[in-house]
Amino acid sequence: MAGPLSGFTVVEMAGIGPGPFCAMMLADMGADVIRIDRLTPGFLGGGGTIIDRGRRTIALDLKQPGAADIVLRLLDKADALLEGFRPGVMERLGLGPDECLARNPRLVYGRMTGWGQDGPLAQSAGHDLNYIAITGALHAMGHAELPPAPPLHLVGDMGGGAMMLAFGVLCGLLEAGRTGRGQVVDAAICDGASLLASAYHGKLQDGGWVNQRQSNMLDGGAHFYGCYTCADGKYVSIGAIEPQFYRLLLERCGIDDPDFQQQWDRAQWPQLRAKLAGIIAGKTREQWCSLLEGTDACFAPVLDFEEAPRHPHHQARGSFVESGGTLYPAPAPRLSRTPGQARAVPTPGEHTEELLAELGLAQTEIQALRERGAIA
């Protein structure tokens, strides 16, 4: 069954982090994603991972004569481009927005960077942690008495980067469908992560946020919203915010200490967290699951990456799929009529000859590119 993006062609310049993840999402939903791979793998990998699934791939040395022209010819027939180089790199390759949109006015030109296309940091190197560091979000995460804790690369690269790029490109495609005109999408991780933190900026302005880690309801300050260690050294999560869910938590845990009736007294939170930690430490994770999982106490075990696919809820929903003996997350979200599909992971450059033939190149032209070092 064709996915919802079937019929759209996206050219992806090989990169790392959010760009490939965005391309994977579009490919999962049926887009024909053509990745421009390097002839020689870069420092952080050369494809072949789960994130690279669902593409066709052509390997080019863009510094060799004729290679950039191949990209332009692919873009002539494409609906969107994804690139994640530093600002100016695509322009120096002769593949900037002006050149591409002049040839294909409908093209949506997606640009993924950490700092954005302009501003004083635009040309500086960085990674996810740096980009979210200037948004306020990183400062709010972690233990009060320790430095901020890196939230993997989920908040910046994936949430503030890949998701925003996908959203921006799809917005551009919808608009181009109405007007016939493409445009540039400047997706900066520092912008996207700032937007994700909008509610917290709002809370700060209205006095509902304390600028100190573990002092607020959602940052681990409240005893009823956080993670706890069990008797077996494993962990559970509790998020019983609403009064009725909090009452159920106390009931199911057998807590009759009157101090726990002061749910919203911030001054009591530290001592209540310590008391609840002592209670949770008295049983194993499995015992707590038997008491609380599936109830309205807002509880779940904290699973590691190996445990997660085996959880009964994931198994019932088919949240993980298997390929080549490996379990990995299935495409999301789920569409009822045109669902996404996780397709095979290609080898970098696997479709070079096929794609060149689709462009109409004769074997003599392909051989000439090979002799110039533009293709392998």
Task: Identify residue 19 by its one-letter amino acid code.
Answer: G
Q: Which residues of 83-111 are buried (b: 16+ CB within 10 A; e: fewer)?
A: bbbebeebeebebbbebbbeebebbbbbb
Query: 159 to each of 128, 152, 191, how far by Cα in Å?
Result: 11, 11, 11
153 annotated active-site = no
Beta bridge partners of 329: 320
Q: Do 260 and 253 contact (CB within 8 A), yes or no?
A: no
Q: How many CB atoms lie within 10 A of CB 340?
A: 22
Whether the CB-CB separation of 242 and 296 falls below 8 Å is answered with no
User: Which residue matches tokens 């002769």?
Assistant: 94
Alpha helices in the chain (DSSP H): 18-28, 67-76, 89-92, 97-103, 128-133, 164-179, 189-196, 198-205, 243-253, 269-280, 285-292, 312-317, 352-358, 363-372
SS3 324: coil
Could you tell me which of 192, 196, 194, 221 has the C-alpha nearest to residue 209? 221
Determine which one of 157, 219, 223, 351 is catalytic.
157
For 63, counting Cβ atoms within 10 Å of its Cβ (0-12 exposed, 13-18 middle, 19+ buried), the class is exposed
351 is catalytic: no
- Given the residues 61, 127, 201, 314, the one annotated as active site: 127
One-letter amino acid for residue 134 of the chain: I
The string of DSSP codes covering 218-280 is: GGT-STTEEEEE-TTS-EEEEE--SHHHHHHHHHHHT---GGGG-TT-GGGHHHHHHHHHHHH
Measured at the CA of 103, the angle between CA 99 and CA 107, to 5 degrees, comes to 90
For the annotated catalytic residues, the residue numbers are 127, 157
